[in-house]
Amino acid sequence: MDATAATVAPEGRFVDDYLLSLLARASHAISAEFHATLRRAGVQVPVWRVLASLTGSEGETVTGLADACLLQQPTMTKLLDRMVRDGLVRRLPDARDRRVVRIQMTQRGEALVRDLLVQARQHEATVLARFPDIGAQQLKELLRAIATRPARGARRREAA
């Protein structure tokens, strides 16, 4: 886009047509719906994210959980401190690599996440039901494709 094609900002806000904003808002809006459920259950959002990330894959590492939950590693360490304190997870040493800490849900953690998972799947279904034209798998594949970017500096040159 060069200056010649630029009609001088007659439209509304930049962010209302900016892909990254729209993505963030879509995510935030949908998540906010479920956060109401979490609030009712007295569970903080990051706590839910950790428990959900451990569901179907016990024994994640601290860094692995941080990535999954979109948090920094030190943030995850401190979050896990609280969750251990609250009896939701425990830390276990890795058998092969003593640097690694593996995180496991306690019974209390599993019990807590069990109900939430039911509601999460229910909510997901209602969200998907709002878009009958779009297949769930199709939408999820698109989002996965967006998330697994090929660009860690590799594609920068070809931009213009």
Partner DNA sequence: GCCTAACAAATGAAAATTCATATGTCAGGG
Partner DNA sequence: CCCTGACATATGAATTTTCATTTGTTAGGC
Q: Which of residues 30-59 bind DNA (CB under 7 A)?
A: 44, 46
Site for a copy of itself in 57-96 (CB under 8 A): 57, 68, 70
**Residue 151 binds what, of DNA, a copy of itself, none (CB under 5 to 8 Å, by partner type)?**
a copy of itself
For a copy of itself, the closer of residues 8 and 95 by Cβ is 8
Q: Give the residue, chosen from 21, 27, 31, 75, that forms a contact with DNA under the rule CB under 7 A.
A: 75
d(CA 76, CA 26): 25
Scanning the chain, the segments in alpha helix (DSSP H) are: 19-41, 45-54, 62-69, 73-85, 107-129, 136-147
E strands in the chain? 60-61, 89-93, 101-105
| Residue 72 found at the interface with DNA (CB under 7 A) | yes
| Crossing angle (nearest 10°) for helices 19-41 and 107-129 | 130
* Strand 101-105 versus strand 89-93 pairing type: antiparallel
Site for DNA in 114-153 (CB under 7 A): none
Q: Give the residue, chosen from 44, 46, 53, 77, that forms a contact with a copy of itself under the rule CB under 8 A.
A: 53
Q: Give the residue, chosen from 78, 82, 91, 140, that forms a contact with a copy of itself under the rule CB under 8 A.
A: 140
The pair of structure tokens assigned to 13 is 């806000």
Write down the least CB distance from residue 87 to a copy of itself, Å.
Answer: 21
